[in-house]
Structure 1
């Protein structure tokens, strides 16, 4: 039986299709992701192309308000960019940073947690103390510190070119202990089971036992954590952009769009901040709701059949 046929007959799909909240959050998430990554095709204009931007079109209201321009459905921002286009491109940037940061967190955390849990002893103590020290510094503290140094060292113009990989590195590096502690706890529970003892008896090397036998049985909590961490990473990027240490205004993300319009909010140009804020809330909410459903489904103590 093929993988697709097994998936169609799985209890996972059966439960998912009968949970309106899970289906609704998944559809919302797919909509945001597809809209963001199809921005070069679907967006009315390219906010990176200065030839398509005119300062004379700045702060135009949405199409249903007086003084609107039919070419700007959701209005324009203070730079004269079409707000719908900047939201689409900004959603793509935010999702890329979220996925990239979580991938880095997972790689570091799984590797460290797996080695610490399986090897034990002094190595375990050292790695977990490093994780404890890392957890004592918040993501924002690490990002603000490194972001300020990076902008001072490279300058604003150079920082604009490296902003995305820099934020992926900073947010990913700051949050790896969450994965390491979770994986370590799962490894400690798994390594004393019979199948691990049997693998040792037949002479399999430790590396093979860790990666081929123990790791697959520790990925369930990692999957649940990843959904939550993607939302946290997107929120971290938005917060850093809002205080000026994330994405620059010239390269829109949802956070930088909210920041760019905040100073015009009370002057009447509320749409520059409100619309990106609504998209950010919807994106975070859909990820968190889907993550909550997966946590309940994968935890037999919580999930009610």
Structure 2
């Protein structure tokens, strides 16, 4: 009769709870505070249709006579609008919630597109090498020579000339995702290529080749999982950059129209009213944008330090 005992393998939660990532998070109050703020802001943006008192896209709910009402702590405010109203009479709290949702959708969508293109090109360049590597890296160099603003001007001008301004407004979110995503993919490609160059000469890759696995399977099933750490770190930084790019493009009139508020278009819409005393139209969405980008960048810095093996404490 065997006395051997069987052990139950640890669950995914147990492995995560014992990981250095979770240990570092528990002992870093800045990361905890930033994570809580980020979750609150994302949740509020996603729940905007239920949390907002009005739909800023629905003109029947907007009253122009209530325009430029101040926030609740200033004389002359209205209890219906705790953060005041903008020049069109829209509730600032509602427009900020909807605007943050649009900015987050563009930020995450652009980063997903960047990652898909950049990771694929980086894997191909690093694993295949030779002419493929040279071509893709020169393509990345050419792409980096064009700024996001320049790409936006060209794409926006061509699209408006071809389909008209009304069609551009209807598809502004998709266009901004494409513009920012296509302009920033080289960041992923270069990082993934460097990781693949370090991984492709290791024993497990040689073993996969000997077993007859195809290059596609080796790249995506074996090498890619070992390059995820820098991808996650880049993604946090790129989300913040994408949100800032959207805000900058909207401020310059190349992004979201005023009828579809984003944080950038809200800042732009109230910029002309600063000298008239209606500072909250610009400063409130600007403050939300600053806090959102700040917490994402701080989380990215923390994640970079945790996933850096040279800083691992054991």
Measure how far apart 1:14 and its partner are: 1.4
CA distance 1:7–1:23, change in 2 (3 Å)? same
- Asked if residue 121 in structure 1 is aligned to residue 130 in structure 2, the reply is yes
1:89 to 92, 98, 121: 98
Q: Equivalents in 1 of 2:92, 2:153: separation in Å?
A: 28
Aligned to 1:158: 167
Counterpart secondary structure, 2:255: coil
- Asked if residue 147 in structure 1 is aligned to residue 156 in structure 2, the reply is yes
Q: Equivalents in 2 of 1:162, 1:105: separation in Å?
A: 19
Measure how far apart 1:160 and its partner are: 1.4
Q: Equivalents in 2 of 1:73, 1:52: separation in Å?
A: 17
Aligned to 1:200: 209
Measure how far apart 1:303 and its partner are: 5.1
1:212 to 221, 243, 246: 221
2:37 to 7, 21, 28: 28
- Structure 1: which 5+ residue stretches go unaligned? none
- Structure 2: which 5+ residue stretches go unaligned? 1-9
Q: Equivalents in 2 of 1:57, 1:183: separation in Å?
A: 53
Aligned to 2:198: 189
2:119 to 98, 110, 126: 110
204-213 vs 160-169, which moves further: 204-213
Q: Equivalents in 1 of 2:296, 2:39: separation in Å?
A: 10
Q: Equivalents in 2 of 1:151, 1:55: separation in Å?
A: 29
Measure how far apart 1:126 and its partner are: 0.7
Aligned to 1:66: 75
1:175 to 160, 170, 184: 184
Q: Judge conservation of contact 1:144–1:240 (CA < 8 Å) in 2.
A: no
2:305 to 296, 299, 305: 296
Q: Equivalents in 1 of 2:158, 2:278: separation in Å?
A: 33
TM-score normalised by the chain length of structure 1? 0.98
Measure how far apart 1:206 and its partner are: 1.3
280-289 vs 10-19, which moves further: 10-19
Measure how far apart 1:202 and its partner are: 1.8
1:6 to 15, 39, 54: 15
Q: Please tell me whether Structure 1 or Structure 2 has the larger radius of gyration of its CA atoms.
A: 2
116-125 vs 154-163, which moves further: 154-163
Measure how far apart 1:152 and its partner are: 2.9
Q: Equivalents in 2 of 1:299, 1:10: separation in Å?
A: 14
Q: Equivalents in 2 of 1:2, 1:181: separation in Å?
A: 35
2:86 to 77, 83, 92: 77
- Asked if residue 54 in structure 1 is aligned to residue 63 in structure 2, the reply is yes
Q: Equivalents in 1 of 2:275, 2:313: separation in Å?
A: 48
- Asked if residue 221 in structure 1 is aligned to residue 252 in structure 2, the reply is no
Q: Equivalents in 2 of 1:201, 1:210: separation in Å?
A: 15
